[in-house]
Amino acid sequence: MVEVLRQRLNGCEPTIALILGSGLGDIAEAIEDASVIPFEDIPAFPRATVRGHAGRFVCGTLNASTVIALQGRLHLYEGHNPEMAGMPVRLMHELGARMLLVSNAAGGIRRTLVPGDFMLIRDHINLMWRSPLAGPAKDAESRFPDMSEPYDLDLSRRMRLAALKAGIPLAEGVYAGLLGPAYETPAEVRMLERLGADAVGMSTVPEVIVARALGMRVAGVSCITNVAAGMSGIPLNHAEVLETTERVRHRFIALVRAFLGSLKSDP
C-alpha cells in the first residue's frame, strides 16, 4: 500500500503529517506543488463516508515544510476496527513523517469554551475502550508505549507561540475520545466533566496511540464546534459542526501555517 502512495505522491518524503478534522480539510488546498491520491485509488483502502471529509492524501509544501495531509480520517463509528483507524498514521510514518499534527471537531465541556474556539490538546482520555495496537506487535512499534506525554511538550509550546503570533486565542485542555456516532447524553457530559474532560469528540485517540507507539511527536488541536449536549439546551447536529468549522477555517489555516513556520524558524 505504501508503495502505491509513494508513487502517486511523486516520492513524497514528508517531515510532518497533518490529520484534518471534520470541516478542517481546507488547509490541504493551500499545499503547494501538491500531489494527491484519493482513497479509492489505494488498493484495499476504505472510502471516506462522512460529510466534511474529502477522503484523500495530499503531499507537498506548506510554509517551507514538506507535509502530508490526511483529508478525511477513518472513524471507529464508521465500522472500522481500531487498527484501521490508526492505519493512515502508520502509512504516513512509513513515508517518513516523524511528527503528527492532529485536529478534530469537538464539543466544548468546559464552560468557558464557546463554538469557534481552538483548544490545544494537553492530554486525552480513551473512552473508546479499544486500542489500535491490539493484535500482533508490529516491528516498528513499541508493544507497551509510554503515554505519560502523549502530546509533545515542545510542539505544544510551539503551537502556543504560533497562536500568539497569529493573534488567535488558544485554550488548552483534555480531550475525551468516545466511540459515537450518537452524540452524548447530558448525563454523559456531566460524567465527562467530572472525569476531567474539557472537550469531547469521536476521533484522534487511536491515531495518537499509534503515533506514540511509533515514537512520533504529536501536537493536537480541537476546534470547538458546539457546546456539549445538555449544556446549552440546543440539540446537536453535524451541520452545526460544519457551520462552525466553515466560520473559523481561515483562523485554523493561519494557526497551522504559523505552527509550521515555528518549526523552521524558532529554536
63, 104, 226, 262: the catalytic one is 226
Q: Which of 184, 188, 198, 207 binds ligand HPA (CB under 6 A)?
A: 184
Nearest approach, Cβ of residue 125 and ligand HPA (Å): 13
**Is 65 in contact with 17 (CB distance < 8 Å)?**
no
The count of other CB atoms within 10 Å of the CB of residue 105 is 24
Q: Which stretch binds ligand HPA (CB under 6 A): 53-61, 68-76, 135-143, 224-232?
A: 224-232
Q: What is the nearest approach in angstroms of ligand HPA to the Cβ of residue 107?
A: 2
Residue 194: φ, ψ to 5°: -70, -30
Query: Which residue of 34, 69, 228, 263 would you call a contact of ligand HPA, by CB under 6 A?
Result: 228
Binding mask 69-108 for ligand HPA (x = CB under 6 A): ------------------------------------xxx-
Work out whether 241 is an interface residue with ligand HPA (CB under 6 A).
yes
- Closest approach of Cβ 213 to ligand HPA, in Å? 24
Active-site annotation holds for 75: yes
CA 149 – CA 239 distance, rounded (Å): 34
Q: Is the peptide bond before 181 cis (omega within 30 degrees of 0)?
A: yes
For ligand HPA, the closer CB: 23 or 82: 23
Specify the amino acid at residue 97.
A
Binding residues for ligand HPA, rule CB under 6 A, total: 13
Q: Determine the Cα–Cα distance for residues 130 and 126; give it in Å rounded to an integer.
A: 8
What are all long-range contacts of 79-86, with beta carbons under 8 Å and residues at least 24 apart? 80/46, 82/128, 82/130, 82/131, 82/132, 82/134, 82/206, 83/132, 83/134, 83/135, 84/46, 85/132, 85/203, 85/206, 85/207, 86/132, 86/133, 86/206, 86/207, 86/209, 86/210
Find the shortest distance in angstroms from Cβ 8 to ligand HPA: 31
Q: Kindly tell me which of 5 and 20 has the beta carbon lying closer to ligand HPA.
A: 20
Tell me which of 28, 92, 202, 219 is the catalytic residue: 202
Whole-number Å distance between alpha carbons of 212 and 217: 7
The whole-angstrom separation of Cα 196 and Cα 64 is 38
Distance of closest approach, residue 73 Cβ to ligand HPA, in angstroms: 12
As annotated, the active-site residues are 22, 53, 75, 77-78, 105, 202-203, 226, 238
- Interface residue list for ligand HPA (CB under 6 A): 105-107, 183-184, 200-202, 225-226, 228, 236, 241
